[in-house]
């Protein structure tokens, strides 16, 4: 492999700001620093400097920070320039740096180099992106826990146990006369069970983490005029959807992002479900049905002044018995899947919010943040694959008594688990993960 080239990017968000940061990483960093600043700054010291162009004209003045390899974010020579946060001045500076032997960095390329140089693992790299993208305090805290290595540590511990078990199993397989004894060995069974139990704990935590990170899609549906748009506005705390007593007002799909206890929810308001007469409303109904199919949670709004009897709810459905303010006898029994609510007065909102979280499987106590780390769909899939292989290994051990099969399933389980932290990951996967980062990170 040839030594990596030198990359540079503006690391601060576009627009105007007090400062703007440019980051440079790679083998040409020292030479670029000398030409741009006149000298190589003292390592890890904030040094005031002029950033000069080819004619020695000062492009900007600011702080230069030099981090020689391997003690830098990427593990390479890194120079960070803190200048003024203006689009033109930063562009001029970047152009000069590229003239001097760097090339523009791709999205996520700094983090990718940090990963390739073993500065961080894949979970931590993803946590950086999640921290930057976090939209609630809880999500940000959870991302920070992953970045500090909490998630990775639990995966690594499990991996160690799995590797130990594999060594034990494989060494016995080399001596066929011992295989029978080994398969009857209770210690092996117990060790395997302990790994399975531990994995289950990680899976549960990761589900919480994914909820905080990626959120849920909540789709509001129901008959025209039931109060769907009013419910969207109530949940969002704003007047984003048009509310009227004319049935068929909402024809398009409206989206709002909200949070309940820090869990991000993508709320979708849809056209009322009915036999629509005009083509635009028909299209609205078609889109509503498409959204409903993709919903994690369905909120079916029912006008309590019209429909008193509720149909059976689907497992991911909450029936919202709306306009309860207009109903005289509020004591009417509602099934567990239903919530009585008034989108007009707000009565019942808190119960609905709790029910949404409950259905989502979010069971952290309000304010509790320890032990919660962010996770992604990819992690959950790898954990599930690991669990599947461990189950097959258990079968091979206890039912089929097939040592070779068990050994193979344990190997596959280890591979799946290693994908999470990136010890065993394809280039395709890496490319996909880092391309979703922002430039300069
Ligand atoms: N009294 C009362 N009126 C409501 C309530 N929710 C909605 N409405 C009214 O019902 C009508 C239809 O509401 P809208 O949200 O547009 O229903 P959508 O067609 O399902 O989106 C409007 O006149 C709302 O003001 C409620 O909880 N109580
Ligand atoms: Mg509507």
User: Do 389 and 414 lie in a common domain?
Assistant: yes
The ligand placed nearest to the CA atom of residue 344 is 1
Tell me whether residue 68 is in a domain. Answer: yes
C-alpha 441, offset from chain centre: 16
User: Do 142 and 113 lie in a common domain?
Assistant: no
Tell me whether residue 431 is in a domain. Answer: no
Ligand 1 pocket mutation, candidates 222, 343, 347, criterion most atoms within 8 A of CB: 343
Ligand 1 centre and the CA of 228: distance in Å? Answer: 7
Tell me whether residue 317 is in a domain. Answer: yes
CA-nearest of 402, 408, 399, 397 to 166 is 408
Extract the tokens encoding 239. Answer: 């007047």
Q: Counting atoms of ligand 1 from 1, which one is nearest the CA of 248?
A: 19
User: Do 289 and 314 lie in a common domain?
Assistant: yes
- Mean predicted confidence (pLDDT) in 228-256: 85
Contacts of 193 (CB under 8 A, 6+ apart): 394
- Cα Rg, the chain, nearest whole Å: 28
Tell me whether residue 155 is in a domain. Answer: yes
Rounded Cα distance, 157 and 170, in Å: 20
Rounded Cα distance, 108 and 73, in Å: 13
pLDDT at residue number 370:
60
Whether the CB of 440 sits within 6 Å of ligand 1: no
Ligand 1 pocket mutation, candidates 224, 229, 230, criterion most atoms within 8 A of CB: 230
User: Do 154 and 110 lie in a common domain?
Assistant: no
User: Do 20 and 115 lie in a common domain?
Assistant: yes
Whether the CB of 344 sits within 6 Å of ligand 1: yes
Q: What is the largest CA-CA distance in the chain?
A: 84
DSSP β-bridge partners for residue 10: 22
Of 325, 344, 363, which closes a domain?
Answer: 344
Q: What CATH number is associated with residue 304? A: 3.40.50.300
Rounded Cα distance, 366 and 358, in Å: 13
- Mean predicted confidence (pLDDT) in 125-137: 92
Share of the chain above pLDDT 70, in %: 94
Ligand 1 pocket mutation, candidates 243, 272, 276, 300, criterion most atoms within 8 A of CB: 243
The ligand placed nearest to the CA atom of residue 239 is 1
Q: Does residue 176 register a pLDDT over 90?
A: no
Alpha helices in 174-237 (DSSP H): 179-183, 186-214, 228-236
Ligand 2 centre and the CA of 279: distance in Å? Answer: 17
- Confidence band of 403 (pLDDT split at 50, 70, 90): confident
Q: 102-116, 119-133, 202-216, 270-284 — which is least confidently predicted?
A: 270-284
Contacts of 181 (CB under 8 A, 6+ apart): none
Whether this prediction's pTM lies above 0.85 is answered by no
Q: Does residue 178 register a pLDDT over 80?
A: no
User: Do 301 and 418 lie in a common domain?
Assistant: no
Of 57, 86, 120, which closes a domain?
Answer: 120
CA angle at 194 for the pair 191 and 196, rounded to the nearest 5°: 110
Whether the CB of 251 sits within 6 Å of ligand 1: no
Alpha helices in 216-366 (DSSP H): 228-236, 279-293, 349-360
Rounded Cα distance, 338 and 360, in Å: 15
Residue nearest to atom 19 of ligand 1 (CA): 225
Give Cα separations from 28 to 3, 7, 22, 76 (angstroms): 11, 9, 15, 10
pLDDT per residue over 61-96, tens digit each? 999 999 999 999 999 999 999 999 999 999 999 999
Rounded Cα distance, 233 and 344, in Å: 10
Please give the tally of structural domains in the chain.
Answer: 3
pLDDT at residue number 336:
77
Q: Counting atoms of ligand 1 from 1, which one is nearest the CA of 250?
A: 21
pLDDT per residue over 14-58, tens digit each? 999 999 999 999 999 999 999 999 999 999 999 999 999 999 999
Tell me whether residue 95 is in a domain. Answer: yes
The ligand placed nearest to the CA atom of residue 251 is 2
Tell me whether residue 160 is in a domain. Answer: yes
> Residue 18 phi/psi, 5° resolution?
-60, -45
pLDDT per residue over 267-314, tens digit each? 999 888 777 778 888 888 888 888 888 899 999 999 999 987 778 888
User: Do 377 and 404 lie in a common domain?
Assistant: yes
- Mean predicted confidence (pLDDT) in 333-361: 90
User: Do 329 and 314 lie in a common domain?
Assistant: yes
Could you list the residue range(s) of the whole structural domain that residue 84 is in?
Answer: 7-120
Decide if 227 contacts 235 (C-beta within 8 A): no
Neighbours of 55 (CB within 10 A): 5
Of 85, 120, 155, which closes a domain?
Answer: 120
User: Do 221 and 338 lie in a common domain?
Assistant: yes
Ligand 2 centre and the CA of 120: distance in Å? Answer: 48
Q: What CATH number is associated with residue 47? A: 3.30.1360.120
User: Do 138 and 107 lie in a common domain?
Assistant: no
The ligand placed nearest to the CA atom of residue 227 is 1
CA angle at 55 for the pair 52 and 57, rounded to the nearest 5°: 45
Ligand 1 centre and the CA of 246: distance in Å? Answer: 10
Give Cα separations from 189 to 158, 181, 227, 393, 401 (angstroms): 16, 12, 56, 10, 12
User: Do 290 and 246 lie in a common domain?
Assistant: yes
Q: What CATH number is associated with residue 402? A: 1.20.120.430
User: Do 170 and 91 lie in a common domain?
Assistant: no
Tell me whether residue 441 is in a domain. Answer: no
Tell me whether residue 396 is in a domain. Answer: yes
pLDDT at residue number 1:
43
> Residue 432 phi/psi, 5° resolution?
-65, -45
SS3 108: coil
């Amino acid at each position: 492999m040839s030594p990596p080239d030198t990359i540079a990017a503006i690391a601060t968000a576009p627009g105007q700001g007090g400062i703007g940061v440019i980051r440079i990483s790679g083998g040409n960093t020292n030479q670029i620093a000398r030409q741009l600043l006149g000298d190589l700054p003292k390592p890890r010291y904030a040094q005031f400097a002029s950033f000069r162009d080819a004619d020695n004209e000062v492009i900007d003045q600011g702080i230069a920070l030099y981090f020689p390899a391997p003690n830098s974010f990427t593990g390479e020579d890194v120079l960070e320039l803190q200048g003024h946060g203006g689009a033109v001045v930063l562009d001029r500076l970047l152009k000069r740096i590229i003239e001097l032997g760097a090339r523009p960095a791709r999205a996520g390329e700094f983090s990718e180099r940090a990963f390739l140089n073993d500065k961080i693992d894949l979970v931590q790299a993803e946590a950086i992106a999640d921290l930057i993208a976090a939209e609630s305090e809880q999500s940000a805290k959870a991302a920070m826990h992953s970045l500090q290595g909490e998630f990775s540590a639990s995966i690594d511990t499990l991996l160690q146990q799995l590797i130990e078990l594999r060594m034990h199993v494989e060494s016995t397989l080399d001596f066929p006369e011992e295989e029978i004894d080994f398969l009857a060995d209770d210690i092996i069974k117990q060790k395997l069970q302990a790994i399975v139990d531990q994995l289950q704990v990680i899976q549960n935590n990761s589900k919480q983490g994914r909820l905080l990170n990626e959120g849920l899609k909540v789709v509001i549906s129901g008959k025209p005029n039931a109060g769907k748009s009013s419910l969207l506005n109530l949940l969002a705390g704003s007047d984003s959807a048009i509310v009227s007593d004319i049935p068929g007002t909402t024809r398009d799909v409206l989206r709002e992002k909200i949070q309940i206890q820090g869990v991000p929810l993508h709320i979708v308001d849809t056209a009322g479900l009915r036999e629509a007469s005009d083509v635009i409303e028909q299209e609205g109904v078609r889109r509503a049905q498409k959204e409903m199919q993709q919903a994690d949670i369905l909120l079916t709004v029912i006008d309590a002044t019209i429909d008193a009897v509720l149909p059976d709810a689907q497992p991911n459905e909450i029936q919202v018995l709306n306009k309860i303010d207009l109903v005289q006898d509020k004591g009417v029994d509602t099934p567990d899947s239903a919530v009585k609510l008034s989108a007009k007065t707000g009565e019942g909102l808190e119960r609905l919010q709790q029910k949404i979280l409950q259905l989502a499987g979010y069971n952290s106590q309000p304010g509790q943040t320890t032990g919660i780390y962010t996770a992604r769909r990819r992690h959950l899939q790898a954990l599930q694959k690991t669990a599947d292989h461990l189950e097959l290994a258990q079968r091979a051990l206890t039912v089929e008594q097939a040592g070779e099969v068990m050994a193979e399933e344990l190997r596959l389980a280890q591979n799946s688990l290693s994908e999470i932290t990136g010890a065993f990951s394809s280039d395709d996967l890496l490319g996909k993960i880092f391309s979703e980062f922002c430039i300069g990170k």
